[in-house]
Amino acid sequence: MKDPVKGVRRGWASSLARFLVLYLFLMALLLALGWSAWVYAQIEQYAYEDQAAPADLICVFGAAEYSGRPSPVLRARLEHALALYEHGIAPVILTLGGSAPGDQYSEGQVGQAFLRANGVPEKAIIAETESRNTEEQVKRIVAIARTNHFQKLVIVSDPAHMFRIREMFAADGLPVLTSPRAQIAPIGGSSEWQQIGHEILSYTLWRLQLG
């Protein structure tokens, strides 16, 4: 004969376990949503804030190149850097980015060629051609800046990219000025939201690695 008391206890324990699992899940969900909302607010703040001011160096983060030609995103970044250079923001431009396996050209080389074709003298360009991602590019910029005694840097990349870049530089003890390139897709378009989602995830993973 079954013990009714034990049955009640098992039922109560099972209900409590389900409640705790649900509670922990909801708390984790709220924490994730709150964190994502905070990161999104930071991304938005730096996406529309152009801090460009007189500096020693303009740094252009790499993006895709197509057989020696800059992709629309890379071209927009380079054109923005060129405009800053022509306005006298800094006397030197650093182009960044390595090459994918099998590619003949690196992003840094393509950026350098674009600037030379648009009137920037060779002595005013530094091409970095080894870095493969944002974190590597930040490390290379920090090394180049310290080797050449560059004190003030203006960073050019996509609007949504700026917050993560700024935080990475801050972690290396090098404050920078951010200057986002012009939007290519319409504001609020699907590509923009995809990029924001990518930045929230990438920034979160980077922060977790710091721990």
Instruction: Name the more confident of 6 and 24.
Output: 24
Taking the C-alpha atoms of residue 76 and residue 74, their distance in angstroms, rounded to an integer, is 5
Q: Quote the percentage of the chain above a pLDDT of 70.
A: 90
Is the pLDDT at 170 greater than 80? The verdict is yes
Mean pLDDT, all residues of the chain: 89
Task: Write out pLDDT tens, residues 84-125.
Answer: 999 999 999 999 999 988 889 999 999 999 999 999 999 999
Taking the C-alpha atoms of residue 199 and residue 39, their distance in angstroms, rounded to an integer, is 9
What's the average model confidence in pLDDT over 169-181? 94
What's the full length of the chain, in residues? 211
User: 191: pLDDT confidence band, cut at 50, 70 and 90?
Assistant: confident
Cβ proximity of 99 and 67 under 8 Å: no
pLDDT of residue 51: 96
SS3 127: strand
**What domains are defined for the chain?**
57-210 (3.40.50.620)
Is the pLDDT at 75 greater than 90? The verdict is yes
Task: Write out pLDDT tens, residues 9-36.
Answer: 566 767 777 878 888 888 888 988 999 9
User: 145: pLDDT confidence band, cut at 50, 70 and 90?
Assistant: very high
Tokens of 145: 């800046």
Is the pLDDT at 185 greater than 60? The verdict is no
pLDDT of residue 17: 78
Taking the C-alpha atoms of residue 30 and residue 126, their distance in angstroms, rounded to an integer, is 46
Instruction: Name the more confident of 29 and 56.
Output: 56
Compute CA distances 5 → 2, 15, 18, 144, 175, whole Å.
9, 15, 20, 74, 66
